[in-house]
């Protein structure tokens, strides 16, 4: 019996297993560590599947960060509807688009 194909298969599996990447550790920010009164902040989490993988990842942010993003989106939408997108077009021209 020839053990060479078996040894080659085992070597290939071990080599490919070394290519596996550990799941990334989500960064923590100073704002998410504690609030002024010492209580833990309320986190809002959702599952998202990054491009290039089938494995969903859990993303958590503080309620303050979610509210700030929502306000930023609302402000951008107001600006676009008020000036018909002229400001956005001018910003893009300045960036070389």
Separation between Cα atoms, residue 86 and residue 97, nearest integer Å: 14
DSSP-based three-state secondary structure for 50: coil
- The predicted pLDDT at position 31 comes to 46
Separation between Cα atoms, residue 51 and residue 67, nearest integer Å: 25
* Higher-scoring residue by pLDDT: 4, 77: 77
* Higher-scoring residue by pLDDT: 66, 29: 66
Provide φ and ψ at 20, rounded to 5°. -65, 140
* pLDDT average, residue stretch 48-77: 92
pTM of the model: 0.42
19 secondary structure, DSSP code: T
Please list, in sequence order, all residues whose beta carbon lies within 8 angstroms of the beta carbon of residue 31, skipping any fewer than 6 positions away. 41, 62, 64, 65
Rounded mean pLDDT of the chain? 74
């Amino acid at each position: 019996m020839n053990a060479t194909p078996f040894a080659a298969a085992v070597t290939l599996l071990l080599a490919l297993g070394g290519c596996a990447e550990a799941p990334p550790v989500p960064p923590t920010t100073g704002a998410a560590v504690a609030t002024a009164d010492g209580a833990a902040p309320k986190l809002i989490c959702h599952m998202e599947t990054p491009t290039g993988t089938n494995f969903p990842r859990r993303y958590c942010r503080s309620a303050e960060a979610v509210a700030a993003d929502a306000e930023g989106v609302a402000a951008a939408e107001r600006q676009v509807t008020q000036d018909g997108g002229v400001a956005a077009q001018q910003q893009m021209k300045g960036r070389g688009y």
